[in-house]
Amino acid sequence: MNLVTGLISFAVFLQNLEMLWLQKYFKACDPWQKNKHGLNQQIYTLVLIFSLVASICVLISPSVAGLSIMLLSTCWISARFGGSFNGGSDFMTFHILAAALLALLFPSYERIALSYVAAQSVMSYFIAGIVKIKSSEWRNGRALPFFLLYANAAHESSTKYWLAKSPILSLIVSWCVIVFELLFPLSLLSPTSAIIFVSLGAVFHLGNVYFFGLNRFFFAWLSSYPAIILLANPLVTGTQ
């Protein structure tokens, strides 16, 4: 669990750096200004600094206080932006922080906390796979070009046009994504399958960073991978 805690602390550290950098942007324009829950800009900045320091402290040595500060600031930032700042990555960050806090408060529940993190990670891929296989557009390979060309988060790159303009390549990549997501629960079968699936997962998220700029997702999901690898290991799950 220490590795999960360390990785999620690093993710929160990067998230807080981004939020602090955005403070100068929000001085000029803060569309969400009416949702600060009575807190002014200085207090908001202070919360971010506290969370940043807490993430560094937890990286060095996990503590209940540090994890609590990170968890509360994640909730508060989500509330400030009307539910979440970054969608799925905020959700995953919140659940991993909550599990890490639970494991630290009640060490006997560490395996339950690990299982919870692994379950959230596995479910996220599996549900996304179900959604895609139920869609005829994903099955025939036409959804991928649509997202690459028209999604607002999609960045300009020659690769995306190359991929989007080739129906066969789009079909192959679409089915690779669908099969990978649907089979992800198999990662829990053995340490080898866990390593294979989380490696594919890391590549998948790097692809999402390249095409859609979703860097927070990469680190949030990366934090859940040690839980999957540990749960897949019979020496951990079978003998304790």
Partner 1 sequence: MFMRLLIPSWRFFDITGTIPGLYVRVLGSKDFPDQWIDILHPPDLHWHSLLFNPLGNLHHTLCNTLDNLIQHPEDQYSIEVIDQYVRYYLVAKLQCQGGNLYQFKVTGSNFDADQRNEEDLIISPETFL
> In Å, how far are 161, 194, 214 from 167, measured between CA atoms?
11, 31, 25
- Asked whether position 189 contacts partner 1 by CB under 8 A, the answer is no
Give least dist CB 128 to partner 1, A.
4
Give least dist CB 182 to partner 1, A.
13
Give least dist CB 3 to partner 1, A.
19
Q: Return the structure tokens found at 34.
A: 């009416």
- Asked whether position 90 contacts partner 1 by CB under 8 A, the answer is yes
Answer for the pair 39, 68: CB distance below 8 angstroms, yes or no: no
- Give the residue with the Cβ less far from partner 1, 111 or 142: 142
- Asked whether position 7 contacts partner 1 by CB under 8 A, the answer is no
Q: How far apart are CA 207 and CA 1, in angstroms?
A: 27
- Asked whether position 180 contacts partner 1 by CB under 8 A, the answer is no
- Length of the chain, in residues: 240
Q: 213: which residues sit within 8 A by CB, 6+ positions away?
A: 153, 155
- Asked whether position 49 contacts partner 1 by CB under 8 A, the answer is no
* Residue 142, phi then psi, degrees to nearest 5: -90, -15
- Asked whether position 68 contacts partner 1 by CB under 8 A, the answer is no
- Asked whether position 179 contacts partner 1 by CB under 8 A, the answer is no
Give least dist CB 147 to partner 1, A.
6
Give least dist CB 29 to partner 1, A.
3
Within residues 122-161, the interface with partner 1 by CB under 8 A covers: 123-124, 127-128, 131-132, 135, 137-138, 142-143, 145-147, 149-155, 157
Answer for the pair 54, 46: CB distance below 8 angstroms, yes or no: no
Q: How far apart are CA 43 and CA 33, in angstroms?
A: 13
Q: How far apart are CA 166 and CA 188, in angstroms?
A: 34
Give least dist CB 238 to partner 1, A.
29
Pick from 188, 239, 197, 238: nearest CA to 221: 197
Member of 51, 52, 62, 94 binding partner 1 (CB under 8 A): 94
Question: What is the helix, strand, coil percentage profile of the chain, to 5?
Answer: 80, 0, 20
Point out which residues bind partner 1 (CB under 8 A): 14, 17-19, 21-22, 25, 28-35, 75, 78-79, 81-88, 90-92, 94-95, 120, 123-124, 127-128, 131-132, 135, 137-138, 142-143, 145-147, 149-155, 157, 206, 209-210, 213-216, 218
